[in-house]
A and B are shown apart, each in its own frame.
Chain A
Amino acid sequence: MQNPWLKRLQAGRIIDTLLPLVAVAGALIVGAVILFLLDKNPVEAYKAMFTGAFANKNGLADTLVKATPLLLVGLGIAIAFRGGVINIGAEGQLVVGALMTTFIGLSLGEKLPGWLVIIIALAGGALMGGIWGGIPGYLKARLNVNEILSTVMMNQIAVQVGFYLLRGPMIDPAEVAAGTNIPHSARLPKSVDLPRFVDIARALGFTERAKDLGLTGFNAELYGLFAEPTRLHTGLLIAIVMAVLVYILLWRTTIGYRIRAVGISPAASRYAGINVQRYMVLSMGLSGAFAGLAGAVEILGLHHRMFEPLSVSAGYGFSGIVAALFGKLHPLGVIPSSILFGGLLVGGDKMQRAVQIPQVLVTAVLGLVVLFVVGSEIWSRRRANRRVSTGPDELSGAAGEASS
């Protein structure tokens, strides 16, 4: 620790890590001010939010259930942003993924063993999302079409495709028979439901309830989260495994290295012989595939049927961006970050019921988090520039590589 540069560097890294936390705190404070001006009690609101999301097994389960699509979408966003393309189209990619999964589940569900259909349906959802994301990627790479705009358009198209299919070819025959014609699909066969945590716990022999074991307080809730019936399903495990795989992809493989290189400097990458266009399409396609997988997991794990596209996507395409940014675009960082924002979404719902403050407050706060996070990046950038221009190059380069 004699080297003053090392000290400065580490102080800087701590600030870099703390910045997103400060951003969330700032967003919550602005939210509190808005509530105060609206004559609502912010303390009461945030308390209801926190206890609703984290204090008991059902709140925790819902938080993790919402964290699942956030994590998957966030992983996709992280890949795209690392690769230098901006994917605003996760909403649409999620919707087409969900539609594809529903289609596969309904058409194969009775014919093949459940586990096989689940694998095919997850892969199909991811593939469809990948195609939906790959199209804007291709248009950007080949024809220089701004991917921000094309993905926004693709979102709208996906929603309309969804409505068209759900009102026509994919509508639940029972709805037609009843004459109600509500646009949703039939329920998928039970054999293709992703197992819930409670199913696994029972299979492993944890059949007692928390109170039979004499557990009380938070321990009982925690035990209940895994061993008693909640909505928590194994999609969460899929998402966490994917996070690790994305980490390996981005930092331990040549493909990942090239994706990141293109993101940092397309010109330098081209000079180094990387096919920049191909990697742009790949980043967008992978990004879409993860959003599509999120849609697939939502259908198989939670909804078990497809209904109104925007209710299935539920804004995850946008809140996933928040989760990714807050996780510093690092696959493993997105895990805690999506749990935090999953909690915020669940807490908003509980807050609305407990103290009658509309849950849309959470949407506004999420927007503020984005603004604060991207706004505060200038300080990390400036410090990074200082490091490069005046510090020992090899040192900061190596440390940067290890930390990021």
Chain B
Amino acid sequence: MNEGLSVLAIIVGIAHSGIRLATPYLYAAIGETFSQRSGVLNLGVEGIMLMGAYSGFFVVFKTGNLFLGVLAAALTGILMGLAMAFISVTLQAEQGISGIGLFMFGLGASSLLFKTTLGTVEGVKGFPELHLCLPSGYCLSDFPVLGEIFLGHSLMVYGAFALVPVSWWILNKTTWGLKIRAVGQNPQAADTLGVSVAAVRYITISIGGMLAGIAGASLSISLLNIFQENMTNGQGFIAVALVYFGSWTPFGVLAGAMLFSLINALQLWVQVLGLNIPSDVAVMLPYLLTIIVLAFPFRRALQPAALTKPFERGEN
């Protein structure tokens, strides 16, 4: 145990890294919320994240322009989202399996592209951390506890958290959100009322893809500033689970993402502090926790009724 660190400093450290680590989960899981709310399970998030991470990294490496990097990741995500939409909506394919196909494609293609276009690149200069320093030289991010926890993150991190209320508002307070929920709950009824089920699903899957792409970029050009083969390491699959975990609501997803990233941060600190807990066991905890939460029976009623069911006019 490192004597130099007070308990408070450790808690602050865990909270700070927890917020940071929640970023990719939030982007990807909020995006997936849109797609699942409209009735489509996109299991390919992991593959889209990898492609987004690569394209963001590539563009930033070539141009140095961070916003172009995010744009590239978003566009890549939209393209892959459209591919998923074509397969799952137009061709009505089994969603879980097509998601695995999309994942494998993204895993292979991102690595292939990286190896052939960049080879071995050390890293890029990603989004800077905002320390909000005053002219006097005092930085607000040094303000005890609150400043230390909530400031000193990059724009990508704040963007992820801003997305939560925005998506809540879109889903619950706009006509668009109503259409999305209707299509996910009862596509036949929505169709009778003149809502195009296919159009809504194409759009939500594209939004999901875009945000998954940005989630990947948040790793490669903001949190880690490198690209590696399979760098997401299962985070995309977790993001899909977080949507179930959060009962298909943005704030539920936020709670799940924070829980996950705090346990991750705790686990990192356990290693830093050299505590005698096997880190492999600690890494396992969030996955166990997810399975346990998924088993709570009251959640069944919350699931969009048409989730994973392709819609065909004239059915029923």
Contact = CB atoms under 8 A, between A and B. Distances in A.
Contacts of A38: 112-113, 116-117
A34 to B, nearest CB: 7
Given A148-B43, A368-B101, A168 B115 contact: no
Q: Which of A155, A322, A357, A364: most chain B CB closer than 10 A?
A: A364
B108 A363 contact: yes
Interface in A122-150: 139, 143-146, 148-150
Contacts of B11: none
A374 B234 contact: no
Interface stretch (A158-166, A272-280, A292-300): A158-166
B215 interface: no
21 contacts: A86-B94, A139-B291, A139-B294, A139-B295, A149-B294, A152-B234, A157-B284, A161-B280, A161-B284, A167-B278, A358-B116, A360-B115, A362-B108, A367-B108, A367-B109, A368-B101, A371-B87, A375-B86, A375-B87, A376-B91, A381-B92
Contacts, number: 151
Contacts of B31: none
Contact of A374 (B97, B240, B283): B97
A371 B47 CA distance: 13
B194 interface: no
Contacts of B100: 88, 318, 321, 367, 370
Q: Which of A144, A155, A167, A362: most chain B CB closer than 10 A?
A: A144
A231 interface: no
Contacts of A156: 234, 284, 287
Interface residues of A, number: 50
Contact of B115 (A144, A358, A375): A358
Contact of B105 (A149, A154, A367, A375): A367
Interface in A164-181: 164, 167-168
Interface string B273-312: 0000010110110011011001101001000000000000
Given A88-B96, A153-B290, A371-B98, A143 B297 contact: yes
Contacts of B86: 375
B116 A374 contact: no
Given A360-B109, A367-B108, 16 more contacts: A38-B117, A139-B291, A145-B294, A153-B241, A161-B280, A167-B278, A321-B97, A360-B115, A361-B108, A364-B108, A364-B109, A364-B112, A367-B106, A370-B101, A370-B104, A375-B91
A125 B91 CA distance: 39
B49 interface: no
A153 B112 contact: no
A365 interface: yes
A358 to B, nearest CB: 4
Contacts of A152: 234, 237, 240-241
B104 A367 contact: yes
A140 to B, nearest CB: 10
A365 B108 contact: yes
A164 B104 contact: no
B129 interface: no
Interface string A318-341: 110110010000000000000000
A378 B108 contact: no
Given A150-B291, A374-B93, A375-B87, A160 B284 contact: yes
A377 interface: yes
A294 B278 CA distance: 29
A387 interface: no
Contact of A366 (B87, B91, B104, B278): B104
Interface string A374-402: 11111001000000000000000000000
A370 B97 contact: yes
Nearest to B97: A374
B26 interface: no
B94 A374 contact: yes
Contact of B92 (A168, A322, A378): A378
A13 interface: no
Contacts of B294: 139, 145-146, 149-150
Q: Which of B94, B103, B108, B278: most chain A CB closer than 10 A?
A: B108
B229 interface: yes
B280 A364 contact: no
Interface of B: 41, 43, 47, 83, 86-87, 91-94, 96-98, 100-109, 111-113, 115-117, 229, 234, 237, 240-241, 244, 278, 280-281, 283-284, 287-288, 290-291, 294-295, 297, 300
A90 to B, nearest CB: 11
B241 A149 contact: yes
Nearest to A135: B291
Contacts of B288: 153, 157
B316 to A, nearest CB: 14
A321 B94 CA distance: 13
A375 B103 contact: no
A362 B109 CA distance: 9
A146 B244 contact: yes
Contacts of B47: 367
Contacts of A34: 109, 112
Contact of B291 (A40, A145, A369, A374): A145
A160 B279 CA distance: 9
B148 to A, nearest CB: 31
A144 B105 CA distance: 30
A367 B103 CA distance: 7
Contacts of A149: 237, 240-241, 244, 290, 294
B281 A160 contact: yes
Interface in A72-107: 86, 88
Contacts of A378: 91-93
Contacts of B106: 367
A358 B160 CA distance: 34
Nearest to A166: B280
B291 A153 contact: yes
Contacts of A358: 111-112, 115-116
Nearest to B290: A153
A150 B295 CA distance: 10
Nearest to A183: B280
A143 B295 contact: yes
Nearest to A317: B100
Contacts of A369: 101
Contact of A368 (B96, B105, B117, B234): B105
A124 to B, nearest CB: 22
B110 to A, nearest CB: 8
